[in-house]
Amino acid sequence: MPIVLILFAFFLGSVPFGLYIAKTFKNIDPRDDGSRNTGATNVARLCGFKYGVVVLALDILKGAVPVWMASIWNDGWILTSLVMLAAVLGHVYSPFLNWKGGKAVATTLGAFMAAAFLPTLFSAVACLAVIFLSGFVSMGSLTFAVCLPVFSLLTGNVHLIPIAVVLMALMFWRHRENIQRLAKGEEKPWRKSKHDAK
């Protein structure tokens, strides 16, 4: 059963909802424009906010559902961590997208939400605060990544620190181009500037 659950988590995580929704409703391939990935932020930019919200919700569920199943069938933190990792790796390296994919944030959010609500909530609040103050989704995402192991420790979820650190490293790796653009002042903000709106 554990290996079946891990494989199911990877398969569910690998389903590219962003691609399917963008192509079905707007006939847009998000891999061809914007940040060229199938994540919720790029879909929202290209297709509209409501489509981005739908993709975000589905990508969160990709992480939450298998972890929730793991918590029912087995309370062991090792299996839970492996299921979390499998779901996120499926999202990042999807066989449906030639082993490419998203940046791990939404599916990590879902996986952690199902495993431990409080550290996820605090990390998500910090993420949203940084996005609101800076205007950069990537900066908020990196804040979320850093906060997960910190709040896992502070809320007593010590068993989740190893997987939190692994996923933090993965999110930083997937955001390496955003980090370079932030350092150069070339990252595009979520909110359109007055110049862009003209």
Q: What's the rounded Cα separation, in Å, for the pair 171 and 102? A: 10
CB neighbourhood size of 175 (10 A)? 20
Residue 192 has a pLDDT of 53
Asked if 55 and 17 touch (Cβ cutoff 8 Å), the reply is yes
Whether pLDDT at 103 is above 50 = yes
Residue with tokens 């981005």: 52
pLDDT tens, position by position, 116-170: 999 999 999 999 999 999 999 999 999 999 999 999 999 999 999 999 999 999 9
148 contact partners, CB below 8 Å, separation of at least 6: 108, 112, 119, 120, 123, 164, 167, 168
Going from N- to C-terminal start, the domains of the chain cover: 2-191
Residue 191 has a pLDDT of 59
Whether pLDDT at 195 is above 80 = no
159 contact partners, CB below 8 Å, separation of at least 6: 77, 81
pLDDT tens, position by position, 18-69: 999 999 999 999 988 877 888 888 898 899 999 999 999 999 999 999 999 9
Find the helix or strand (DSSP H, E) in which 6 lies.
helix 2-14
Whether pLDDT at 193 is above 50 = no
Residue 74 has a pLDDT of 74
Residue 197 has a pLDDT of 37
Instruction: Work out the average pLDDT over 172-196.
Output: 80
Residue 196 has a pLDDT of 42
- Residue 75's alpha-carbon distances to 72, 95, 118, in angstroms, are 7, 29, 18
Whether pLDDT at 194 is above 80 = no
pLDDT: which is higher, 125 or 77:
125
Residue 75 has a pLDDT of 66
Tokens at 9, concatenated: 């988590």
16 phi and psi angles, rounded to 5 deg: -85, 75
Whether pLDDT at 71 is above 80 = yes
Q: What's the rounded Cα separation, in Å, for the pair 9 and 89? A: 9
